[in-house]
Chains A and B, each alone.
Chain A
Amino acid sequence: MTIKGKAYIAGIYEHPTRHAPDKSTAQLHAEVAKGAIEDAGLTKADIDGYFCAGDAPGGLWPMVDYLGLKVRHVDSTETGGCSYLIHLGHAAEAIAAGKCSIALVTLAGKPRTGVMPPRAAGAEADFETAYGATTHNAYGMCAMRHMHDYGTTSEQLAWIKVAASHHAQYNPHAMLKDVVTVEDVINSPMISDPLHRMDCCVVTDGGGAMIVTTPEIAKSLKKPLVRLIGHGEAMKGPRGGKDLDLTYSAGVWSGPRAFEEAGITPKDIKYASIYDSFTITVLMQLEDLGFCKKGEGGKFVSDGNLISGVGKLPFNTDGGGLCSNHPVNRGGMTKILEAVRQLRGEAHPKVQVPNCDLAIAHGTGGLLGVRHAASTCILERV
């Protein structure tokens, strides 16, 4: 049993807003749902599956009711920022099994306008909460150890932000449109050693949505055909504290699963959407996915190797979370959306990868330095 080629992404929408104090969170979900449904050329009545995660107010019952959906399959898998990459895989499974035929996945929220509610505590709470782990310092700890073990430098990490900024200049909706240099990044204020302010992603309101459907329905619609041919998911944590190693992510497991299902290797990928909560997130995931050897990520990302039209692996051509958008502090959805734009040939002409027929969208959710999930999706233009 495989999901290879059994589900197509027929509709996509990214909310243009980056700050939405005058809208409700549920409203943003409805707006991105409407956008994706219209992009696909469908109507709301066609939707028979719905997927959402922890950003959806109240979860499935309120959302399905608020949106006025009538569905026969639902899934509220919550794995932080990579939830939507897992939703894509799960939607493909449900479609392959005949449980639904047109699935809607939404993400939206307003962290720029207000403070996000805290996550529910796990069994570790008494033993960790007091120490103040945040996204910044949890990823800082990964970067610190990666530098110690492999000699990775702040200058190498900075190249990731530089590449993202080169792409963001062409995105009219990007929150940060200025091209920056390695010096700009390493001279920006230190937030949590060794990560500087410019090693961190933006905080934005907004959202995105996609429509996942059967090959038959996708072919009856007007958009260029983009299908999922491989998917993997995995989780990693300290696991009792044995053999702790913060220099790799759960991508070491989700990546090979996805590549094996797709029947391709990293060398075949023309465009990569890689979760970029921080620069170190990108570097570690590129290694974990096999784009270079473990420890050689610093060298791999340097000298513009991630810049479209310049380097060997164009990444996050929308400007990514580092410059354009990181709606609800969850970057998984926008990773899929830009990969689909590239495969459709709808990316900005300045960053469009020529003959882009194979793309990867990969992300992590949770805290890379503590507990996290990873999900890898391999997408193909038919």
Chain B
Amino acid sequence: MAEAKKYPAPVTNPETAQFWEAAKAGKFLIKRCTACGEPHYFPRSICPFCFSDKTEWEEASGEATIYTYSLMRKSPTGPYAIAYVTLKEGPSLQTNIVDCDLTSLKIGQKVKVVFKPTDGAPLPFFTAA
């Protein structure tokens, strides 16, 4: 089951270290560009839209809706739900839906962030809100 699954520790690098430090404190960060105003995910130092280097960390609400998902049945560790969720702040990101009924997931369903431990920094997942 998903609970027993061991997740790989993030390698991290100077560009993303702050994201993982915040994750250890239970905070879910995104990046926002102060030049064009657009938020993005995963975090980059240079904005992928306007290419400005004026990007800042911002704590996200952790609230999102499911954009799409697929319940993967062909897995040695048991079925798991991969998904894209769209954050309340705008960006969509790839994740797993965990700790809820995976057989009744729906596009548009409200979900919220939940962190799961690794041997390093914890990883963000999403569960039914």
Distance A136 CA – B69 CA, assembled complex (angstroms): 12
- Contact, CB under 8 Å: A131 / B70: no
Distance A134 CA – B79 CA, assembled complex (angstroms): 13
Cβ of B12: which chain A residues have Cβ within 8 Å of it? 126
- Contact, CB under 8 Å: B69 / A241: no
Give, as a whole number of angstroms, the nearest-CB distance from B14 to chain A: 12
Give residues of chain B (66-83) contacting chain A, Cβ–Cβ below 8 Å.
Answer: 67-75, 80, 82-83
- Contact, CB under 8 Å: A148 / B90: no
Give, as a whole number of angstroms, the nearest-CB distance from A241 to chain B: 3
Decide if B113 is an interface residue (CB 8 Å cutoff).
no
Distance A133 CA – B80 CA, assembled complex (angstroms): 10
- Contact, CB under 8 Å: B68 / A192: no
Decide if A144 is an interface residue (CB 8 Å cutoff).
yes
A238-B73 in contact given A145-B67, A148-B68 (Cβ < 8 Å): no
- Contact, CB under 8 Å: A131 / B94: yes
- Contact, CB under 8 Å: A241 / B10: no
Distance A190 CA – B27 CA, assembled complex (angstroms): 37
Cβ of B70: which chain A residues have Cβ within 8 Å of it? 136-138, 140-141, 143-144, 192-195
Distance A138 CA – B10 CA, assembled complex (angstroms): 21
- Contact, CB under 8 Å: B72 / A239: no
Decide if A370 is an interface residue (CB 8 Å cutoff).
yes
Decide if A114 is an interface residue (CB 8 Å cutoff).
no
Cβ of A133: which chain B residues have Cβ within 8 Å of it? 82, 94
Give residues of chain A (130-182) contacting chain B, Cβ–Cβ below 8 Å.
Answer: 130-134, 136-138, 140-145, 148
Give, as a whole number of angstroms, the nearest-CB distance from B30 to chain A: 9
Cβ of B8: which chain A residues have Cβ within 8 Å of it? 129-130
- Contact, CB under 8 Å: B94 / A192: no
Interface residue tally on B, bucketed by range? 35 or more
- Contact, CB under 8 Å: B96 / A132: yes
Give, as a whole number of angstroms, the nearest-CB distance from A30 to chain B: 34
- Contact, CB under 8 Å: A126 / B82: no
- Contact, CB under 8 Å: B72 / A242: no
Distance A131 CA – B96 CA, assembled complex (angstroms): 6
- Contact, CB under 8 Å: A192 / B92: no
- Contact, CB under 8 Å: B71 / A193: yes
Decide if B127 is an interface residue (CB 8 Å cutoff).
no
- Contact, CB under 8 Å: B123 / A130: yes
Decide if A115 is an interface residue (CB 8 Å cutoff).
no
- Contact, CB under 8 Å: B74 / A242: no
Give, as a whole number of angstroms, the nearest-CB distance from A20 to chain B: 24
Decide if A191 is an interface residue (CB 8 Å cutoff).
yes
- Contact, CB under 8 Å: B16 / A145: no
- Contact, CB under 8 Å: B7 / A130: yes
Bitwise interface map of B from 1 to 36 toward A, beta carbon under 8 Å scored 1, else 0: 000000110111000100010000000000000000
- Contact, CB under 8 Å: A131 / B95: yes
Cβ of B107: which chain A residues have Cβ within 8 Å of it? 144-145, 148
Could you list 7 examples of A-B contacts with CB < 8 Å? A126-B12, A126-B42, A148-B68, A241-B40, A241-B87, A241-B90, A244-B84
Using CB atoms and an 8 Å cutoff, list the residues of chain A in contact with chain B. Answer: 123-134, 136-138, 140-145, 148, 189-195, 238-242, 244, 246, 369-370
